[in-house]
Amino acid sequence: MRVLALETSCDETSAAVVRREGGVTTLEGMTILSQDVHRIFGGVVPELASRAHLATVGPVVDDALRAAGCTMAEIEGIAVTNGPGLMGALLVGVTWAKTVAWRTGLPLLGVHHLEGHLFAPTLEDPTAEPPFVALLVSGGHTMLLDVPQWGEYRLLGETRDDAAGEAFDKVGALLGLDYPAGAAIEKLAATGDPKRFSFPRPLLKGVTGADHYAFSFSGLKTAVLRAVQKSDDLVRDTPHLARAFQDAAIEVMVAKTLQATRDCDRQLIVLGGGVACNRTLATAMRHAAEGVARVAVASPRLNTDNAAMIGAAGAWRLANGERHGFDLEARDSIAFPGLHSPAEASS
Ligand code: KG4
Ligand code: ZN
């Protein structure tokens, strides 16, 4: 089945054509238009995002169809991110998808943005299939999941405050870097001295119960702020601060993911979301997981927000016979289908 997918939940307008045959989904063509306008504001401005989606969604879809070398007549289903995300931004994609589904009579499916991130690695590596443990780290979310099968997501832990990507972006702002700052921090950190500064590893040692797999990045961010305030030469210290921050964040993410992998007895770790573009994180995870598990990470274009991952998740659900009606709604916060916490399951 060939699926046309749309993603407009934040500041990327993206459309893709994917094809699912024999349980394997391949990407046939994709367009991602990143909205640069937000850069000058230091964060995404929701109203500007909606307007930009509205202006570009049609051409972006045409471009993705062209890249895939196919026409609307060859499309068999429509998948669209319907949450979570910015309400006005989501509305553009959902309204567009509903209109096309109505006009063509094609089946329509709303996809949860985070389920999309989980499917991203399958587009390049068809063996990145459950069972696995997943670390989902984006600008808005930080989640550790056990995935026994597609559609069943056991939430092991999430962040108590800032998301991992949000921490990279906020630390970037402290260091005078443009938004989003994750990639710039990674680049600076590569030249930093790991011993110049030392920051806390939040919720890593001596935690029990509900905090065992939980994350917290806000104290780490405050520790960077204090160091910035104390610095007498920020230009000199910036790479070292970036290095110490990244080392702390990565150490926590790797340790918790590895512990979960052992506890759940899984042999595969999937890294997803924009922060999974961080090669230092992927390398550290691979190193720590040696002899325990393989690590699957999609390439950067599929890790940051894109429609191909929405198409992959949507194609799986559409192939299972799932459909949404024209009452499909865009929602800024929406339940992750199939998500439950182990505590809930055992109670
Ligand atoms: O998944 P994504 O594209 O959007 C959301 O759904 O939030 O993730 C964006 C986040 C931003 O916070 C950005 O700074 C971060 O991913 N990011 C990185 C890197 N590349 C992007 N964080 C750390 N290292 C990177 N190389
Ligand atoms: Zn995302």
Whole-number average pLDDT of the chain: 96
Can you tell me the mean pLDDT for 42-61? 93
Render pLDDT for 203-233 as a digit per residue (tens, 0 to 9).
998 888 878 999 999 999 999 999 999 999 9
Ligand 1: which of 90, 138, 305 to mutate, judged by most atoms within 8 Å of the beta carbon?
138
Render pLDDT for 258-284 as a digit per residue (tens, 0 to 9).
999 999 999 999 999 999 999 999 999
Distance CA 1, CA 47 (A): 35
Distance CA 294, CA 320 (A): 28
Q: Give distance in angstroms: CA of 77 to centre of ligand 2.
A: 22
Q: Whose CA is nearest to atom 23 of ligand 1?
A: 182
The confidence band for 344, taking pLDDT boundaries of 50, 70 and 90, is: low
Give ranges for CATH 3.30.420.40 in the chain. 2-119+303-340, 126-297
Q: Tell me the chain's radius of gyration from C-alpha atoms.
A: 20
What are the CB-based long-range contacts (under 8 Å, 24+) for 232-235? 234/175, 234/176
Q: What is the pTM of this model?
A: 0.95
Question: Which residues have CB under 8 Å from 195's CB, separation 6+?
Answer: none
Which CATH superfamily does the domain covering 2-119+303-340 fall into?
A: ATPase, nucleotide binding domain (3.30.420.40)
The pLDDT assigned to 346 comes to 44
What is the CATH code for 126-297? 3.30.420.40
Render pLDDT for 5-38 as a digit per residue (tens, 0 to 9).
999 999 999 999 999 999 999 999 999 999 988 8
The confidence band for 347, taking pLDDT boundaries of 50, 70 and 90, is: very low
Dihedral sign computed on CA atoms, order 223, 224, 228, 231: positive
Render pLDDT for 71-119 as a digit per residue (tens, 0 to 9).
999 999 999 999 999 999 999 999 999 999 999 999 999 999 999 999 9
Can you tell me the mean pLDDT for 115-130? 98
Can you tell me the mean pLDDT for 150-172? 97
pLDDT of residue 242 exceeding 80: yes
Q: Is residue 70 within 8 Å of residue 2, measured between CB atoms?
A: yes
Rounded to the nearest 10 degrees, how much is the dihedral formed by the CA atoms of 98, 103, 105, 106?
-50
Neighbours of 56 (CB within 10 A): 18
Q: Give distance in angstroms: CA of 238 to centre of ligand 1.
A: 20
pLDDT of residue 150 exceeding 70: yes
Ligand 1: which of 86, 90, 243, 275 to mutate, judged by most atoms within 8 Å of the beta carbon?
275
pLDDT of residue 190 exceeding 60: yes
Distance CA 237, CA 243 (A): 10
State how far the alpha carbon of 151 is from the alpha carbons of 129, 147, 249, 303, 337, in Å.
12, 8, 29, 20, 7
